[in-house]
């Protein structure tokens, strides 16, 4: 475990702010348990809980907060200079941070999704959701990490993507679904555990290829942007 | 006993003899500055991108609706349904605006400077809240005005048609005000908890987004009472519930719409009132202590 990994993990967990992430997964588990104990038909509560809350809100929002936080927080308060002045290749800075961000998002979103998936259908669906959301967490984290290097307002730009592109346009304009990480995750999970609970228009090979492409592409972009990074003050 | 040797020289500082503006002017200045901050006026182009992006999208949608209506003569969205349809953009706008209003001041540590003036603690928070409410109301009301103008100029029934249209617009504006009050008080409370704009924006979106699916789940529970009370769980459906109860047909104008709240209308109104009151008092409580750090 490299020092950068260690610093990043401590930067995430060392503050009480991290507790802000807890309510999201807890609500997801709570709703699933509530529905199950009241005997509601899984076909009815599955889509709003698994997709509406889990894959459309918990996964992207957690990945957004964590993904922009691992590097963005250091850029914000200027301490990124300490890492940049060390004789490290840039990829040794970006990759550990990406790994921490993806792992934290995958665990935070994966555990409640597993519980909800098991309660809704079967262990197989739970495991499929965990695997798919881990792939999604990697893609989201790479995207948001790159955003925090490309712009000074990564969270707002990330929100534009999550809220307007995936949320608003994804509902009304069908074509944008092909370029939505959320739909790829749904497609992957549906392929691994075919149920009637998850449904999407995106085909599985397209989803798999695009997920890998986004993960790799934005990581390369982040490494490239960090190569010629200028440290500036807070935007006005 | 030595003689005092020090001399106080008059080096020509002028005393201020003009009028001293009081509390109301301080409040007004903070409010005006807050309103400008929300839209990025008087600041760099970067600060204008996100607020005006939202304004542009909302206006374009309103213009599109107006065009469709004037062409095919059918009302696609009523004024109130327009506010409902724009809820995601309103959430995004709050996530942009609220951290700009309060988180920057927290982070740069200027609050002690504000409070060293004759400015009561509550006034600071209330001025910011009023600015955010006004901005949200303008965001939702402006496009409604565009829709009204489009409808008024294309009406085929003369002044009578314009008058009817105006009667439709007024409840819509009232409803937009309800949206503005509820969303602004929640958003500003969340933003005032952290000095980091990034975390504040994420927190606001998380609060609004994670409550929406709760409504979806509660409304399929095997109990009619729970179904009809389900819309209390999320701010946006809470506002819709209050609107359905208080304005009723005025909102939907005979179209399909509104949400099934049964006979619980007053409950929705009371809960909305309590929610706003709780958020505002927590905000005031927060600013009683915040400058001490």
- Cβ separation of A73 and B198 shorter than 8 Å? yes
Average pLDDT over residues B154-179: 85
Has residue B249 got a pLDDT over 80?
no
Has residue B1 got a pLDDT over 70?
no
Nearest CA distance, B252 vs chain A (angstrom): 21
Has residue A236 got a pLDDT over 50?
no
Q: Is B64 exposed, middle or buried (0-12, 13-18, 19+ CB in 10 A)?
A: exposed
Q: Name every chain A residue with its beta carbon within 8 A of the beta carbon of B96.
A: 156
Nearest CA distance, A49 vs chain B (angstrom): 7
What's the pLDDT tens digit per position in B136-162? 999 999 999 988 888 888 877 778 888
- Residues 6 or more apart in contact with residue B118 via CB below 8 angstroms: B22, B23, B26
Q: Name every chain B residue with its beta carbon within 8 A of the beta carbon of A31.
A: 213-214, 217
Kindly state whether B50 is in contact with chain A, defined as any CB-CB distance less than 8 angstroms.
yes
- Cβ separation of A159 and B92 shorter than 8 Å? yes
What's the pLDDT tens digit per position in A86-120? 888 888 889 999 999 999 999 999 999 999 988 88
Has residue A227 got a pLDDT over 60?
yes
- Cβ separation of B202 and A160 shorter than 8 Å? no
User: Within a domain: residue A48?
Assistant: yes
User: Within a domain: residue A235?
Assistant: no
User: Within a domain: residue A236?
Assistant: no
* Residue A1's pLDDT band (cuts 50, 70, 90): low
Average pLDDT of chain B to the nearest whole number: 85
Question: Which of A9-13, A77-81, A141-145, A199-203 has the largest mean confidence?
Answer: A141-145
Q: Name every chain B residue with its beta carbon within 8 A of the beta carbon of A52.
A: 212-213, 216
Say which residue the tokens 């469709």 belong to.
Answer: B68
As a whole number of angstroms, the distance between CA B150 and CA B34 comes to 31
Q: Where are the alpha helices (DSSP H) in chain A?
A: 3-13, 23-38, 42-46, 59-77, 80-84, 91-120, 123-150, 154-159, 170-172, 181-192, 204-227
Contact status, residue A186 vs residue A197, Cβ threshold 8 Å: no
Has residue B253 got a pLDDT over 60?
no
Percentage of chain B modeled with pLDDT above 70: 94
Closest CB from A17, A24, A156 relative to B206: A24
Average pLDDT over residues A153-174: 83
- Cβ separation of A155 and B201 shorter than 8 Å? yes
Kindly state whether B44 is in contact with chain A, defined as any CB-CB distance less than 8 angstroms.
yes
* Residue A172's pLDDT band (cuts 50, 70, 90): confident
Nearest CA distance, B202 vs chain A (angstrom): 6
As a whole number of angstroms, the distance between CA B90 and CA B150 comes to 23
Q: Name every chain B residue with its beta carbon within 8 A of the beta carbon of A153.
A: 46, 50
Contact status, residue B144 vs residue B52, Cβ threshold 8 Å: no
Q: Name every chain B residue with its beta carbon within 8 A of the beta carbon of A165.
A: none
- Cβ separation of A156 and B201 shorter than 8 Å? yes
Closest CB from B194, B197, B217 relative to A31: B217
User: Within a domain: residue A43?
Assistant: yes
Average pLDDT over residues A158-165: 87
Quote the number of domains for chain A.
Answer: 1
User: Within a domain: residue A233?
Assistant: no
Q: Vertex B94, ends B92 and B98: CA angle to 5°?
A: 135
Distance of CA A220 to the CA centre of its chain: 18
Kindly state whether B198 is in contact with chain A, defined as any CB-CB distance less than 8 angstroms.
yes
User: Within a domain: residue A71?
Assistant: yes
Q: Name every chain B residue with its beta carbon within 8 A of the beta carbon of A35.
A: 217, 221
Contact status, residue B92 vs residue A159, Cβ threshold 8 Å: yes
Kindly state whether A152 is in contact with chain B, defined as any CB-CB distance less than 8 angstroms.
yes
Nearest CA distance, A91 vs chain B (angstrom): 25
Nearest CA distance, B216 vs chain A (angstrom): 6
pLDDT value of residue B254: 53
As a whole number of angstroms, the distance between CA B184 and CA B280 comes to 10
Q: Using the CB atoms, write b or e for A15-34: b if 16+ within 10 Å.
A: eebbebbeebbebbbebbeb
Q: Name every chain A residue with its beta carbon within 8 A of the beta carbon of B50.
A: 153, 156, 160
Has residue B258 got a pLDDT over 50?
yes
Q: Name every chain A residue with its beta carbon within 8 A of the beta carbon of B217.
A: 31, 34-35, 45, 48-49, 53
pLDDT value of residue B126: 93
User: Within a domain: residue A232?
Assistant: no
Measured between CA atoms, the residue of chain A closest to residue B216 is A48
Nearest CA distance, A144 vs chain B (angstrom): 12
As a whole number of angstroms, the distance between CA B104 and CA A155 comes to 15
Q: What is the pTM of this model?
A: 0.86
Closest CB from A48, A64, A156 relative to B50: A156
Kindly state whether B106 is in contact with chain A, defined as any CB-CB distance less than 8 angstroms.
no
User: Within a domain: residue A105?
Assistant: yes
Percentage of chain A modeled with pLDDT above 70: 96
Closest CB from B92, B199, B213 relative to A57: B213
What's the pLDDT tens digit per position in B66-96? 888 888 877 777 887 888 888 888 999 999 9
Contact status, residue A64 vs residue A140, Cβ threshold 8 Å: yes
Q: Which domain holds residue A125?
A: 3-227
* Residue B167's pLDDT band (cuts 50, 70, 90): confident
Measured between CA atoms, the residue of chain B closest to residue A155 is B198
Measured between CA atoms, the residue of chain A closest to residue B100 is A236
Kindly state whether A68 is in contact with chain B, defined as any CB-CB distance less than 8 angstroms.
yes
Nearest CA distance, B83 vs chain A (angstrom): 14
């Amino acid at each position: 475990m490299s020092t950068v990994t260690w610093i990043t993990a401590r930067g995430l967990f060392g503050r009480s702010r991290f507790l802000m992430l807890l309510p999201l997964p807890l609500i997801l588990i709570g709703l699933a348990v509530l529905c199950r104990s009241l005997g509601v038909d899984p076909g009815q509560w599955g889509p709003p809980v698994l997709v509406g809350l889990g894959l459309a809100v918990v996964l992207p929002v957690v990945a957004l907060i964590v993904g922009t936080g691992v590097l963005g927080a250091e850029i914000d308060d200027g301490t990124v200079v300490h890492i940049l002045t060390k004789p490290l290749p840039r990829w040794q800075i970006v990759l550990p941070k990406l790994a921490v961000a993806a792992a934290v998002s995958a665990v935070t979103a994966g555990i409640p999704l597993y519980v909800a998936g098991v309660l809704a259908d079967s262990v197989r669906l739970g495991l499929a959701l965990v695997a798919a959301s881990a792939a999604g967490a990697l893609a989201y984290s790479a995207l948001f990490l790159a955003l925090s290097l490309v712009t000074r307002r990564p969270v707002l730009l990330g929100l534009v993507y999550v809220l307007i592109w995936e949320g608003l346009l994804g509902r009304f304009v069908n074509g944008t679904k092909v370029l939505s990480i959320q739909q790829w995750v749904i497609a992957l999970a549906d392929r691994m555990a075919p149920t009637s609970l998850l449904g999407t228009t995106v085909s599985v090979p397209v989803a798999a290829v695009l997920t890998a492409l986004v993960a790799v592409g934005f990581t390369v972009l982040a490494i490239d942007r960090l190569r010629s990074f200028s440290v500036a003050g807070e935007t006005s | 006993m030595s003689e005092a040797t020090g001399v106080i020289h008059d080096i020509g500082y002028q005393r201020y003899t003009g009028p001293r503006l009081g509390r109301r002017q301080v409040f007004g200045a903070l409010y005006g500055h807050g309103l400008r901050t929300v839209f990025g006026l008087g600041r760099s182009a970067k600060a204008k991108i996100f607020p005006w992006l939202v304004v542009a999208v909302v206006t374009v949608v309103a213009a599109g609706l107006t065009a469709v209506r004037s062409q095919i003569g059918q009302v696609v969205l009523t004024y109130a349904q327009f506010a409902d349809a724009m809820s995601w953009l309103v959430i995004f706008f709050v996530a942009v605006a609220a951290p700009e209003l309060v988180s920057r001041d927290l982070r740069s540590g200027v609050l002690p400077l504000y409070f060293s003036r004759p400015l009561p603690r509550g006034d600071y928070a209330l001025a910011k809240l009023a600015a955010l409410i006004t901005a949200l109301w303008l965001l939702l009301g402006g496009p409604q005005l565009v829709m009204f103008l489009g409808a008024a100029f294309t009406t085929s029934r003369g002044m009578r048609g314009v008058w009817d249209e105006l009667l439709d617009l007024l409840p819509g504006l009232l409803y937009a005000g309800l949206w503005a009050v509820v969303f602004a008080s929640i958003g500003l409370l969340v933003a005032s908890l952290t000095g980091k704009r990034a975390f504040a924006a994420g927190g606001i979106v998380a609060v609004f987004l994670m409550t929406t699916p709760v409504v979806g789940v509660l409304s399929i529970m095997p109990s009619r009472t729970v179904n009809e009370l389900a819309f209390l769980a999320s701010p946006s459906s809470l506002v819709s519930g209050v609107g359905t109860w208080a304005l009723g047909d005025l909102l939907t104008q005979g179209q399909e719409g509104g949400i099934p709240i049964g006979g619980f209308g007053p409950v929705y109104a009371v809960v909305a009132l309590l929610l706003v009151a709780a958020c505002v008092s927590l905000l005031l409580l927060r600013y009683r202590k915040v400058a001490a750090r």
